[in-house]
Amino acid sequence: MLTSQLKDALKKLRDGKMDIADAKMFEQIPADEFLADLRMDFPFVFQERVIGRKHEIGMARKVGLTPKVQVLSNMPIVYLVPTLVKCVLLSSYDDAISEVTRIPYISVDPSDHNAIKLETAPGNKLDKLPDGWRIHSLKRKTVRLKVDFLLKRGWKFDKLSPTGLLPPTGLLPQA
């Protein structure tokens, strides 16, 4: 389980109240140890890749469903899309934490042909730069990305589709 100090730091990051003094705590803990703790509270790993010395991972506390509406021939169609809830994204180099991002949710809408529409809620990102730690506020964002692009970046769609959450479009290969 995450220590109370780390839980407090993540809560402050989520709420946009973290300061640089809090951020320095992330220098005290190896990324592998922090990641092991995170996995206890954020069991759904939806993205992971290793590139050379860099390790990137995206985790969610749970997967839910969000209703979406699409109008076809003047008729509204309501469908459900998987939504990754309470997300943490972590990057590290050589077991040193370099980035921690908290996003309340990411909806994963596969309704576009050969692309996924990702919608993120406003969040906060903590970056370690050469001149020290920086905290950034992230705005709500919607992007459409090709399935192949996301797969190359380590997205694990099999974490969503075995539960029956994704429509049977055939667009999403199993990872």
User: What pLDDT, on a 0 to 100 scale, did the predictor assign at position 89?
Assistant: 95
User: What pLDDT, on a 0 to 100 scale, did the predictor assign at position 2?
Assistant: 64
User: What pLDDT, on a 0 to 100 scale, did the predictor assign at position 84?
Assistant: 94
Please give the average pLDDT of every successive group of 10 residues along the chain, which has 175 residues: 72 73 82 88 93 96 88 88 93 94 92 86 92 91 93 87 48 41
Which residues, at least 6 apart from 127, have a Cβ–Cβ distance to it below 8 Å?
Answer: 98, 99, 133, 134, 135, 136
Delimit the domains of the chain by residue range.
4-163
- The Cα-based distances of 159 to 40, 45, 58, 117, 150 in angstroms read 16, 8, 12, 17, 14
Residue 30's CB: how many other CB atoms inside 10 A? 13
